[in-house]
Structure 1
């Protein structure tokens, strides 16, 4: 039995992880989040067919292709990264594998991508000092957002935050976990 939902398990089974997370020489792409964290985060994000998802931090493109599978042909994934080379690499892979529902941008993720919103889900694989209000403004009411947040000034001291966008264009915290979000998403 899988530790992930049937939808995330199915997405993992049809995506060539190595094509995204390894360079042609077999070395790992350094901007890759662990498969375990990606899968548990996507489970908590509850991505469904037809949704629009904003992804901050394209990285290797692996999480983006999983999101592409989860939103299906009627949904859209918009991914942004500050490193143009990562965006081009991911774009080439998505094109090679026929992923036409993923749009990539090389820009500062703090800005989001307002021209492609509004979004039903926002996931950030980066750790901003604070959650940019632009992400909230670009989201629909009821959208779920999962992002890493800094807990202190120490290196690598962070947690995963899950929140819901409210009608008032604010955030309502749902969970904070240092292990991931899969066991802490019950609404208060």
Structure 2
């Protein structure tokens, strides 16, 4: 028996929401096929962009290329299938949850042993470095100015976290900001 939500599945949509004012619905997404939510999200009519991306690294810390194989949308989630340059297949499931939580879940499959490190990262506008949290308390916090749909200044707090304890974390101030979700620019 087919689940009713599966009858709505498409490959030409990407909008996600949870009914409480948090949505992922860029009109003309530039980075849709890149992991995470680099095109940003809207929380109570305030656009916050970029949010984050995810980069895959090998055991030496070198970036593994990701090639999109497929994209599938339902009202509940956006699933993207990637092939990594080392032959590993990766599945990313993006969802939006109440409270403005934007989630990227990953599953990796390989025919042989392969070490892959997934790194969630962001680059925020200049001037937010002073608002970086300095201690790991389960989430990395960035406070920055935002602008709502009417052009009014709105303070924004972003938390970047992982389930469980990360193996490492860091915050680095760069000159300028990468305007593209490319690891090589960090």
Same fold, TM exceeding 0.5?
Answer: no
Greater helix fraction, Structure 1 or Structure 2: 1
Report the TM-score when normalising by structure 2.
0.31
Report the TM-score when normalising by structure 1.
0.30
Question: Between Structure 1 and Structure 2, whose CA radius of gyration is higher?
Answer: 2
